[in-house]
Chain A
Amino acid sequence: MPKRKLIPLPSAAFQILLALAGEDLHGYGIMRQVAEQTRDRMRLGPGTLYSSIQTLLDAKLIEETEPREDAKLGHERRRYYRLTSAGRKLARLEAERLADLLRLARAKKILRGEYV
């Protein structure tokens, strides 16, 4: 499968890293978590989701854990994904980069103070 570069970090990949920051999730869980944290603006389709996961796995930003069942979703065993320390670091770098952008935007009076 073709590798995709992660610099700059694509927004889908960043959202996946953020989704996994709280807990380990399976694919559908990631999709739901991303939808929730973007207020439904980003609903990852299977193609985008799993190719991003593959890319993140290749870059060792996330890792696979032992397949297990999700009690809420039935008895199928699902692959779960976990954020690695490299992944957490990259997410933090990306967030700082965005925070810098935010500060800049605020300095240029594009954004008002009420935005975090």
Chain B
Amino acid sequence: MSEKIFAWLLHLFPSRFRKAYGEEALQLVRDRCRDEKGFFSRLRLWLDLLGDLALSVPRAYFPVQPELTGYLAHLRSGSGPAFLVLEEESLGPGALFFGGLLTLAAVVSFSVLLNHRVKHVPLSALIRPAPGSADHRSSSFSPRTPEQARDSQVGAIAPATGQQRERAVSSSGPESSKANDAQSNGLTRPGGSGPRKVQSGQRLCSANAALAGANLNRAERQRVVRGAAANLEKHYIDPVVAQKMANALLEHEKNGDDDAATDSSAFAELLTQQMRDVSHDKHLEVLYSEAPLPRRPPAPTPPFQARYRKAMEQANCTFEPVQTLPHNIGYLKLDSFPDVSVCQHTAEAAMASLNHADAVIFDLRDNRGGSPGMVMLISAYLFDHPEYMYNPRENTTEESWTRSPVPGSRLADKPVFVLTSGRTFSGAEHFSYDLKMLKRATIVGETTGGATDVGTFHRLDDHFGMGIRETRAINPYAEPDWAGIGVEPDVKVKAADAPQMAVRLAESKLQKK
């Protein structure tokens, strides 16, 4: 067998070599085969043969190396001009034939490989599970401005909070890598078992730059529009408005209004605008995801709760130590609203440390949001009677009222200041918005991020989905909530200057007393 293969491989050598030594080479292989038996000896024999082929075949064809020594000697003798003829040899027909055969094989296999459809898996999907999924509770969609979009990154996962009721919660928007990102605000599914969150916004929409190639044809657009219309009719809280929006979407599609939008994310924004033109509902949008949306939410990961708990313990639940500033102003920097089930004691301890203060500053400039339960828990200290805290993402229930007064709390009548920045997001906006509207706190800093938190995410196809709010919370205020626009501060200063400004305001307020 080895001999036959080698006889065939011998054709790789030039014909002259084969003529002169082919038989002998074959005999050598025959001799070795006879003398070297056993698996390893045979393996070694083949390694030798292949290594030898790799080295000697190219050398056999290598351009002739002139024998220059004689030539140099000739020059040195000084006998006038000399010419050197380099010996050349053209390739034999057999070598050409085999060379051609190999080339053909290489070209054929290359083109077969090229046509072979290999499933494209984005790198990010390998690193962590792809975000977004079919119909399930989700939250936190995109910030609206490109600036915020740029600021944003990928989503974390929400913890499973067993005792939490089903809800569509606010979620943190853009993330930093700190523990607070692993926060609860994401979505908790019914039963509280499945930690996961659709961090769609940042990644789904408005990532225009990266999507240059993601072009759409008419059939795809039609499919998305029909899917969106069907989902509206099925899920939107107001069936009359839903019908109007569905009709508008289909009408626009029919009239060719969407034809210009060949870019996927632009198309998603166009549909969002078309729906909002009818309903003026900012909690409604169509989203595009470059990464394919999974058909089903990923399986729950039981250790998540433990991991979340550990991360929170390490980060002191993102509560930074309470500071007492001159004039007995209490200062608490809070980088998220962590889950109540894990962080209740930490939160209570922090609030207890603030209890002595004559004024309180909550620094939410780096707060990306969190659990509404924590928002309610902290707010409760600031009132002497139950207060309604409007949250567009939840139905109004008795949980929408603060459990005030908190026994022992002396903060109910103290001035409160909330520091905000453009990166204050979601749950932190919930806190800021309500305290502002209730005139319980003075908001100092920048307009907040404007997290558009949509209740339920519905998958339209592999790349398009839509968020529809299914809750019907009553906004008691004349102004719209923060969705898409953010919370406007009472005192507008740069985020970096906000602490100083708040301290000054607090001092003057305390002096007036």
Tell me whether B27 and A49 are in contact (CB under 8 A): no
Given A1-B17, A2-B64, A28-B32, A48:B52 Cβ within 8 A: yes
Residue pairs across A and B with CB atoms within 8 Å: the count is 89
Tell me whether A28 and B60 are in contact (CB under 8 A): no
Nearest CB of A to B342, in Å: 66
Tell me whether A2 and B24 are in contact (CB under 8 A): no
* Distance between Cα atoms of A43 and B31 in the complex (Å): 14
Q: Which residues of B contact A31 (CB under 8 A)?
A: 28, 32
Tell me whether B27 and A76 are in contact (CB under 8 A): yes
Q: Is A47 an interface residue (CB 8 A)?
A: yes
Given A3-B65, A46-B25, A46-B28, A51:B48 Cβ within 8 A: no
Q: Which residues of B contact A45 (CB under 8 A)?
A: 48-49, 51-53, 55-56
Nearest CB of B to A85, in Å: 19
Q: Which residues of A contact B56 (CB under 8 A)?
A: 45, 47-48, 51
Tell me whether A47 and B48 are in contact (CB under 8 A): no
Q: Is B63 an interface residue (CB 8 A)?
A: yes
Contact with A along B43-79 (1 / 0, CB 8 A): 0100011011101110111111111110000000000
Which residue of the partner chain B has the closest CB to A79? B24
Per the 8 Å Cβ criterion, residues 1-15 of A in contact with B are: 1-5, 7
Q: Is B147 an interface residue (CB 8 A)?
A: no
- Total interface residues on B, CB under 8 Å, equals 37
* Distance between Cα atoms of A2 and B60 in the complex (Å): 7
- Report which residue of B17, B31, B65 has the largest number of chain A beta carbons within 10 angstroms of its beta carbon: B31
Option from B49, B52, B89 in Cβ contact (under 8 Å) with A1: B89
Per the 8 Å Cβ criterion, residues 310-367 of B in contact with A are: none
Given A3-B87, A27-B24, A45-B52, A50:B65 Cβ within 8 A: no
Q: Is A54 an interface residue (CB 8 A)?
A: yes
Nearest CB of B to A66, in Å: 15
Q: Which residues of A contact B27 (CB under 8 A)?
A: 27-28, 76, 78
Q: Is A116 an interface residue (CB 8 A)?
A: no
Q: Is B29 an interface residue (CB 8 A)?
A: yes
Q: Is B464 an interface residue (CB 8 A)?
A: no
- Total interface residues on A, CB under 8 Å, equals 24
Nearest CB of A to B43, in Å: 13
Q: Which residues of B contact A46 (CB under 8 A)?
A: 6, 21, 24-26, 28-29, 49, 52
* Distance between Cα atoms of A44 and B49 in the complex (Å): 9
Nearest CB of A to B285, in Å: 69
Q: Which residues of A contact B68 (CB under 8 A)?
A: 5
Contact with A along B74-117 (1 / 0, CB 8 A): 00000000000001010000000000000000000000000000
* Distance between Cα atoms of A41 and B58 in the complex (Å): 23
Nearest CB of B to A61, in Å: 13
Tell me whether A47 and B25 are in contact (CB under 8 A): yes
Q: Which residues of A contact B65 (CB under 8 A)?
A: 2-5
Which residue of the partner chain A has the closest CB to B68? A5
Nearest CB of A to B399, in Å: 81
Nearest CB of A to B319, in Å: 67
Tell me whether A2 and B51 are in contact (CB under 8 A): no
Q: Is B14 an interface residue (CB 8 A)?
A: yes
- Report which residue of B24, B44, B60, B65 has the largest number of chain A beta carbons within 10 angstroms of its beta carbon: B24
Which residue of the partner chain B has the closest CB to A2? B64
Q: Is B128 an interface residue (CB 8 A)?
A: no
Given A28-B31, A43-B48, A51-B60, A1:B16 Cβ within 8 A: yes
Q: Is A73 an interface residue (CB 8 A)?
A: yes
Tell me whether A2 and B55 are in contact (CB under 8 A): no
Contact with A along B5-45 (1 / 0, CB 8 A): 01000000110110011001111110110000000000010
Option from B31, B48, B63, B69 in Cβ contact (under 8 Å) with A7: B69
Which residue of the partner chain B has the closest CB to A52? B56
Q: Which residues of A contact B21 (CB under 8 A)?
A: 27, 46, 50, 53-54
* Distance between Cα atoms of A28 and B26 in the complex (Å): 10
Tell me whether A51 and B69 are in contact (CB under 8 A): no
Q: Which residues of B contact A76 (CB under 8 A)?
A: 27
Q: Which residues of B contact A4 (CB under 8 A)?
A: 59, 65
Given A1-B20, A2-B89, A3-B87, A49:B28 Cβ within 8 A: yes
Nearest CB of A to B45, in Å: 9
The 10 closest A-B pairs by CB, nearest first: A45-B52, A47-B56, A46-B25, A50-B21, A28-B31, A2-B64, A47-B52, A28-B28, A48-B56, A5-B65
- Known A2-B64, A7-B69, A47-B60; 10 more pairs at CB < 8 Å: A1-B14, A1-B89, A2-B59, A4-B65, A27-B25, A31-B32, A45-B51, A46-B29, A46-B49, A49-B25
Q: Which residues of A contact B (CB under 8 A)?
A: 1-5, 7, 27-28, 31, 43-51, 53-54, 73, 76, 78-79
